[in-house]
Amino acid sequence: MNIAVLVSGRGSNLQAMIDSIENGYLKARICAVVSDIGDAYALERARKHGIEAVFIDPEKYSSKDMYEKQVLTVLKKQNAELIILAGYMKILGKTLLQSYKDRILNIHPALLPAFAGLHAQKQAFDHGVKVAGCTVHFVDEKLDGGAIIMQRCVEVKEDDTDETLADRILEQEHKIYPEAVKLFVENRLRIEGRKVKILRS
Ligand code: GRF
């Protein structure tokens, strides 16, 4: 399966996906990495692995729709069948959502539906939660609101800061994102309303 990865930053989740493919765990191919930020380190990671890495500058497009049409052109050219968001900071518009309905995944660094939006780990930490974690979900028009595929918990320790907590959550992100993508690639996910059924292999 051809996967396109949308990024905006350091790309550690992209790296986890690349590693999972290279070590044979995930039978898929990353056909393009698209960034809305020119100097995103994720682009460099992609290039190091011979993956098509494209910066599409939002400033050159008059609307989200025009921007996403350009993204779509790249994805179609590379025959992308699945989009995964890996630290992509833009909210998706209808162009991408409609073209890839139920074929877009995201990872969020909190146990949704708690702490959607930005700085989720700090939101959770400041709230005083005892258990934090991360969520892989389908993407729909609601912010961090699509059907949940997989979640993993992380215990909050007495001496944690929001940063040490975020680091431990990130370690789990790097595990569950490839696991969830593998389920999608193996056609084992069924969306039933808010629920995602996982079929046995
Ligand atoms: C991760 O914490 C992810 O959960 C969130 O954005 C961050 C991206 O990090 N959506 P990276 O670019 O994958 O290192």
Q: How far apart are CA 3 and CA 81, in angstroms?
A: 6
CB of 108 closer than 6 A to ligand 1? yes
Q: What is the pLDDT of residues 130-141, one digit of tens each?
A: 999 999 999 999
35 φ/ψ angles, rounded to the nearest 5 degrees: -125, 145
pLDDT value, residue 201: 84
| Catalytic-labelled residue, pool 49, 108, 137, 174 | 108
| Domains (range + CATH), the chain | 1-101 (3.40.50.170), 106-201 (3.40.50.170)
Structure tokens of 43? 């682009």
Q: Is the pTM of this model over 0.85?
A: yes
Residue 108 annotated as catalytic? yes
CB of 8 closer than 6 A to ligand 1? no
pLDDT value, residue 147: 98
pLDDT band at 34 (very low <50, low <70, confident <90, very high): very high
CB of 11 closer than 6 A to ligand 1? yes
Q: What is the pLDDT of residues 142-199, one digit of tens each?
A: 999 999 999 999 999 999 999 999 999 999 999 999 999 999 999 999 999 999 999 9
